[in-house]
Amino acid sequence: IIDNNKQFWQYCKTTTPVQGLSAATCVALVLHIYLLCETYLLQTNHKTAMIKRKGCIDFCLLGVFLYLLGSMSFVEAVEFTFDLADGAEDCFYEEIKHNTSAYLEFQVSAGGQLDVDVTLKNPKGDIIYEQQKATFDSHQFVADISGVYQACFSNKFSTFSHKFVYVDFQVGEEPALPGVDEHATVLTQMETSSQSIHKSLNDILDAQTHHRLREAQGRKRAEELNERVMWWSCAETAAVLTIGIIQILVLRNFFTDRKPNQRYSRL
């Protein structure tokens, strides 16, 4: 049975979804083979069955994991938020192959006037994208040469305010859904619905990301406004207390009886 399982996994590796074998089918067949293993091991003695059962379970789970891992395709993407100090410049590097599409998006979520200088250079040092004092923008391009591309964010024009910058840098096209062949001419209703749901979920993720950025930007402004109102209120309170104390002292001076020697000294 174990030998048949090994042969089955070799067949799984060389079979595409068009040939009628998807990842879900492979998993279902492996579970079926596992049940056959259980039926066979129950007919042996108890100690031997426990040892062989553990080996069978480990082998089946390892096979499922390796197949699912091998069937996955990845797209290089990075999404982060960093603190750009005042008068500083931070650069990020990404290796991109020739004729590979890439997408750069940024947004200043907090700090100063919500502006930053952005420069994108190719491996030769040529500027392929540049923005000055921009709050948010996006740029999509296709790499003309292979090498390391450089994206720099500068805050040198600011002397005392630091910025929080959100960056989304994606390299390569998004892979097709598992089980859907790229060369298929006709898609089933289930595959079409899956692609539509997948696209809608990606749109929802993008909308949620931008909503979080706007929420963070609004919260930062509200906190700054609250801090200004608090300090202004403290200053007004101190001014009112000072004026009140001065008025009390002046009124006390008006109604205080002076001694006779103080009156004659003035005369």
Could you tell me where the beta strands, DSSP code E, fall in 111-249? 116-121, 127-134, 136-142, 147-154, 163-171
Q: What is the mean pLDDT of residues 167-181?
A: 69
Domain holding 53, by residue range, is 2-70
What are the two backbone dihedrals, phi and then psi, of residue 95, each rounded to the nearest 5 degrees?
A: -85, 125
How many C-beta atoms surround the C-beta of residue 114 within 10 A?
20
Q: Which residues pair with 120 in a beta bridge?
A: 129, 151
> Does one domain contain both 101 and 165?
yes
Q: How confident is the model at residue 179 (pLDDT cuts 50, 70, 90)?
A: low
**73's tokens:** 């395709």
Nearest CA among 168, 171, 172 for reference residue 212: 168
Q: Residues near 211 by Cβ (< 8 Å), separated by ≥ 6?
A: none
> Does one domain contain both 164 and 92?
yes
- Is residue 152's pLDDT more than 90? yes
Q: How confident is the model at residue 62 (pLDDT cuts 50, 70, 90)?
A: low
> Does one domain contain both 80 and 171?
yes
Residue 106 in contact with residue 84, Cβ under 8 Å? no
Tens digit of pLDDT for each residue in 89-118? 999 999 999 999 999 999 888 888 888 999
Q: What is the mean pLDDT of residues 67-74?
A: 47
Tens digit of pLDDT for each residue in 73-83? 444 567 788 89
> Does one domain contain both 13 and 101?
no
Q: What is the mean pLDDT of residues 168-178?
A: 72
Q: 39, 70, 101 — which closes off a domain?
A: 70
Q: What is the mean pLDDT of residues 190-210?
A: 81
Q: How confident is the model at residue 120 (pLDDT cuts 50, 70, 90)?
A: very high
Nearest CA among 112, 118, 228 for reference residue 161: 112
What CA–CA distance (Å, rounded) separates 103 from 124? Answer: 19
Q: How confident is the model at residue 229 (pLDDT cuts 50, 70, 90)?
A: very high
> Does one domain contain both 117 and 157?
yes
pLDDT for the residue numbered 123: 92
pLDDT for the residue numbered 234: 95
Residue 138 is part of a domain; what is its CATH number? 2.60.120.380
Assess if residue 260 is contained within a domain: no
How many C-beta atoms surround the C-beta of residue 119 within 10 A?
17
> Does one domain contain both 61 and 89?
no
What CA–CA distance (Å, rounded) separates 36 from 45? Answer: 16
Assess if residue 185 is contained within a domain: no
**81's tokens:** 């938020």
Assess if residue 129 is contained within a domain: yes
